[in-house]
Amino acid sequence: MRICILFLWSFLIWSCTKDHAATDPLEKALTSDHPKIRLVMDSVDRYEVQIKYTQIDRLKDSIVFTDFDFQVHDSVYFYPASTVKLPIAVLALERLHQTDTLTVLTKYYVEGDTIESTVAQDISAIFAVSDNLANNRLFELLGQNAINSSLSQKNIGPVRISHRLGYHSEDLRTKPLVVYLNDSTTGMTVSSYNTNPEPLKLQNIKKGIGYMANGKPIEEPFDFSLKNYLPISSLHSILKRIIFPEQFDPKEQFHISEQQRELLLNAMSTVPRKVGYDQNTFHDGYCKFFMYGDSNEEIPTSLNIYNKVGFAYGTVTDCAYIKDTANNVEFLLTATLLVNEDGIFNNDHYEFNEIGIPFLAQLGREIYDLELKRKK
* Domains of the chain and CATH, by start: 26-373 (3.40.710.10)
Q: What confidence tens digit (pLDDT) does each residue in 256-310 have?
A: 999 999 999 999 999 999 999 999 999 999 999 999 999 999 999 999 999 999 9
232-243 vs 258-269: helix crossing angle, rounded to 10: 120
CB 261 within 8 A of CB 269: no
CB 289 within 8 A of CB 361: yes
Smallest CA-to-CA distance from 140 within 187, 112, 177 is with 177
What integer is the mean pLDDT of 136-142?
Answer: 97
Q: What is the mean pLDDT of the chain?
A: 93
CB 330 within 8 A of CB 322: yes
**Spatial separation of the C-alpha atoms in residues 331 and 319, rounded to whole Å:** 11
What integer is the mean pLDDT of 21-38?
Answer: 92
User: 67 pairs with which residues across the strands?
Assistant: 54
**Burial tier of 61 (Cβ tally within 10 Å: 0-12, 13-18, 19+):** exposed
Number of alpha carbons in the 13 Å side-chain half-sphere of residue 38: 4
Q: Are strands 344-345 and 210-213 parallel, antiparallel or unpaired?
A: parallel
β strands within the chain, DSSP E? 50-59, 62-70, 108-110, 177-180, 186-188, 206-207, 210-213, 216-218, 222-223, 303-312, 315-324, 329-338, 344-345
**Spatial separation of the C-alpha atoms in residues 14 and 5, rounded to whole Å:** 14
Maximal CA-CA distance, the chain: 92
φ, ψ of residue 56 to 5 degrees: the values are -125, 125
pLDDT of residue 271: 98
Number of alpha carbons in the 13 Å side-chain half-sphere of residue 134: 20
Please state the pTM of the whole predicted model: 0.93
Residues 343-367, buried b or exposed e (16+ Cβ, 10 A)? ebbbeeebbbeebbbbbbbbbbbbb
Q: Is residue 3 predicted with pLDDT exceeding 50?
A: no
Q: Are strands 62-70 and 50-59 parallel, antiparallel or unpaired?
A: antiparallel
Instruction: Spell out the residues 6+ positions from residue 213 whose beta carbon is closer than 8 angstroms to its own.
Output: 346
Q: Establish whether the linkage from the previous residue to 158 is cis, with ω within 30° of 0.
A: yes
pLDDT of residue 15: 39
CA 365 to chain centre: 18
What integer is the mean pLDDT of 185-212?
Answer: 95
Percent of the chain with pLDDT over 70: 94
Q: Label residue 53 left, alpha or beta by phi (over 0 means left) and psi (-120 to 50 means alpha).
A: beta
Q: What confidence tens digit (pLDDT) does each residue in 237-258 have?
A: 999 999 999 999 999 999 999 9
What integer is the mean pLDDT of 216-238?
Answer: 98
What integer is the mean pLDDT of 195-219?
Answer: 97
Percent of the chain with pLDDT over 90: 88
Q: Is residue 4 predicted with pLDDT exceeding 70?
A: no
**Spatial separation of the C-alpha atoms in residues 106 and 96, rounded to whole Å:** 10
pLDDT of residue 333: 99
Q: How sure is the predictor about 170, in pLDDT bands with cuts at 50, 70 and 90?
A: confident
Q: Is residue 1 predicted with pLDDT exceeding 70?
A: no
- At 323, is the secondary structure helix, strand, or coil? strand
CB 108 within 8 A of CB 178: yes
What integer is the mean pLDDT of 178-198?
Answer: 90
pLDDT of residue 22: 57
pLDDT of residue 130: 98
